[in-house]
Amino acid sequence: MEIRDITAYPLTEDLWNPWCVVTVETADGRRGVGEAGGLWANTDLHAKVEYAEKFDEWLRGMDPRNIEALRVKALETPWGESRLARALFSGVEMACWDLAGKDAGKPVHELLGGAIRTELPAYANGWYDGLETPEEWGEGAADVIDRGYSALKFDPYENSVRDISNDELQLALDRVAAIREAVGEGPALMIEGHARLTPAEAIKIGSHLEEYNPTWFEAPVQAHQGPAAFREVREALSIPVADDLASIGNKFEAFEFIAERAIDVIQPDAANAGGLREVQYIAQMADAAAIQIAPHAAGGPVAMCATVHLDAVLPNFKIQEGFNEFTRPDWVPSVIDDPVSIEEGTIDVPTEPGLGIEFDADRAREHDRNPMPDHNFLSSEFKDTYGSQKHAE
Cα dist. 78→39, 74, 83, 250, 270 in Å? 20, 10, 12, 14, 20
pLDDT of residue 287: 98
- Could you tell me the pLDDT band of residue 14, with boundaries at 50, 70 and 90? confident
What gap in Å lies between CA 251 and CA 268, rounded to an integer? 9
Report pLDDT digits (tens) over 154-206: 999 877 888 899 999 999 999 999 999 999 999 999 999 988 899 999 999 99
pLDDT of residue 380: 57
With contact defined as beta carbons under 8 Å apart, do 276 and 310 qualify? yes
> Helix (H) and strand (E) counts for the chain?
16, 15
- Is residue 372 scored above 70 in pLDDT? no
pLDDT of residue 391: 44
* Helix, strand and coil in the chain, % to nearest 5: 45, 15, 40
What gap in Å lies between CA 334 and CA 51, rounded to an integer? 26
pTM here is 0.93
Task: Say which residue, 377 or 28, is predicted with more confidence.
Answer: 28
Cα dist. 3→36, 87, 382 in Å? 18, 19, 40
3-state SS class at 211: helix
Rounded to the nearest angstrom, the gap between the alpha carbon of residue 326 and the centroid of all alpha carbons in its chain is 14
**Which alpha helices (H) appear in the chain, and where do they start and end?**
42-59, 67-75, 83-104, 108-111, 134-146, 166-183, 199-209, 226-236, 251-259, 270-273, 276-288, 301-311, 324-327, 332-335, 361-364, 380-385
Average pLDDT taken over every residue of the chain: 90
What gap in Å lies between CA 94 and CA 271, rounded to an integer? 8
Please report, as a single letter, which amino acid is at residue 361. A
